[in-house]
Every structure is written in C-alpha cells, then in structure tokens.
Amino acid sequence: MPIWAYDSPVARAATTSDVFNAIAEPQRREILVLLRAGERPVTELAQELGIAQPGASKHLRVLREVGLVRDRKAGKQRLYALDARGLRPIHEWTGGFERFWNESFDRLDAYVQDLKQSRQEE
C-alpha cells in the first residue's frame, strides 16, 4: 500500500480557495468593509485595523487567493481593491434560508417554549 493511501487526519478546509473560510476571520471582514471606500495600500489598512503590517499582508493574501480582493502596484505601494463578486454565492446561500427566519414568530416562540419543556438537561 503506497504511502499516500494512508488516512491522514484533516484539520480544516484550507482557508485558501474557500470564501466561507476567508470571511470567517473578523479582521478579514473588516478589511473588505474598509475596501468598500476604495483602494488602499497595505500599511494604511494595517493601521486602521490596529495590527502589524505583516498581519495585514497575510490576511490580504488569503482574500486575494479566494478572489475577494485585487491588487495593483502603484510605485512603492501596492493598492488593494475590493472584488465582491465572491460574496454573492454566500449571500445567495444564506438567502436560501430566508423563508425559515421569516417564519411566523408566534409559532417559533411556541416552538421554543416547547423545547424548554421537553428539555430537562443542560
């Protein structure tokens, strides 16, 4: 049996190549929000986020790899810009649950009460 056939435990889907994971990080979400105002250089973003420049660069790299941001060289600087297209699938996926959170809340409350009763544990 070849070595590569061994079952190797998987920790977590790579954050790279997965938009859901990319935006699971608060600071990365914040970066996207900041970029709505327009292109920005790394240092500026790092400053606004209150983190070190390497940290910002790393987050930007993840965002770039999933296609949520684009970068462009501008002299000494590198300007990052938002490319929100990748967020659309997520918007749509969550949208697929809209009718559930819109369900009548009288009924939901009743349901919750129901749960409270039927649950003795916790």
Partner DNA sequence: TTGACGCATGCCGATATGGGCATATGATTC
Partner DNA sequence: GAATCATATGCCCATATCGGCATGCGTCAA
State the residues that interact with DNA by CB under 7 A: 7-16, 21, 24-25, 27, 41-44, 51-62, 71, 73, 75-79, 120-121
- Residue in the block written with tokens 């009460």: 113
24 vs 43 by CB, closer to its own copies: 24
Q: Give the number of other Cβ atoms within 10 Å of residue 90's Cβ.
A: 13
Identify the residue among 98, 104, 106, 107 touching its own copies (CB under 8 A).
98
- Considering the complex, state which of residue 102 and residue 121 has its C-beta at the smaller distance from DNA: 121
Q: Least distance from C-beta 82 to its own copies, angstroms?
A: 6
Q: What is the phi-psi region of residue 64: left when phi exceeds 0, alpha when psi lies from -120 to 50, beta otherwise?
A: alpha
Q: Are the CB atoms for 80 and 35 separated by under 8 Å?
A: yes
Residue 57: burial class (beta carbons within 10 Å; 0-12, 13-18, 19+): middle
Q: How far is the CB of 16 from its own copies (least distance, A)?
A: 13
CB-nearer residue toward its own copies: 32 or 56: 32
